[in-house]
Structure formats: structure tokens, C-alpha cells
Amino acid sequence: MSSDAAHEFIRRFTDFINSGDPKLAPELVSTDAIFHAPGTPAPLSGPDGYLELLAMLRSAFSDVRWVLEEAVAEGDKIAARFGMSGTNDGSFMGAPPTGKAFQVTSMAFYKLSGGKIVEERGLPDMLSILQQIGLVPQPS
């Protein structure tokens, strides 16, 4: 995949994660894709697994949003840096909603095959999220 094609792909993928449009999932995500995400006991898989991951996030942060800030592509891999934000208006990690907002940096590493994601490793700044929404104390 060319660098231009990879950047166009990650822009489309960002539109997908922000919209949660189930019609886009099979266009962008391979049926055998694996997603490694914090807070999931085992990797999720396929388009339905990714939609499940988005639904879990939206149940805790209904306004969650990603802004693509930077992407680097090499061969079949893309590394992306996102600004991620949202408001905790639903249960998260077993805790009731706090109503507090967060804004963090999230990194994600994607492997593609056949023009679709076959693996993702998402690394949001979980400590900052937990601190900003009030589930973990801020350092003094």
C-alpha cells in the first residue's frame, strides 16, 4: 500500500470509528482481524468485534471522538496518533458515571492485508482518562 493510500485509509477509518457506522466495518476490517485493547480480557475479532469495542466505549462516553493528528505508514503497517476525548456519562470499568470529560492522546498500530485491518493494538492513555474522569486521584 502506498503512503498516500495508507493515509487515505486511516482517514476513512477515523470517520468510521467516529460514526460507528456498521456498514463501513466490513469495508475496513477483515473478518479475521484481531483487536488488542485495554480493558478487554481477550482480543476481539472481526468487524463485529470492532463494533462491540466501539459500543463499549460509547456506553461509557456517548460523545467519544477521535481526531487523527498524525499517521506514519510503512509497508502493511500504519502507526497513528489520535486526540481522543469524551464525557463519562455511563458506567466505566464498573464505576458509575462521573459526568467529567477527558482529553488524551491515543496511539494505535495497525497491520493491513488486502486493504483491510487484520490487527490493531490500541494504546489510549488510560491513566490520564481515569484521572480526568475522577476514578484515580490526580498527582498533587
pLDDT digits (tens, 9 = 90+) for 21-73: 999 999 999 999 999 988 777 888 999 999 999 999 999 999 999 999 999 99
For position 37, what pLDDT does the model report?
82
Residue 78's pLDDT is what?
A: 98
Residue 75: which pLDDT band, with cuts at 50, 70 and 90? very high
Whole-model pTM: value is 0.92
Alpha-carbon span 77 to 55, nearest angstrom: 25
Q: Which residue has the higher pLDDT, 67 or 5?
A: 67
33 phi/psi in degrees, rounded to 5: -65, 150
> For residues 68 and 59, what is the distance between their CA atoms, to the nearest angstrom?
22
Instruction: Tell me if 98 sits within 8 A of 130, measured CB to CB.
Output: no
Domain 3-132: which topology?
Nuclear Transport Factor 2; Chain: A, (3.10.450)
pLDDT tens track for 90-109: 999 999 999 999 999 999 99
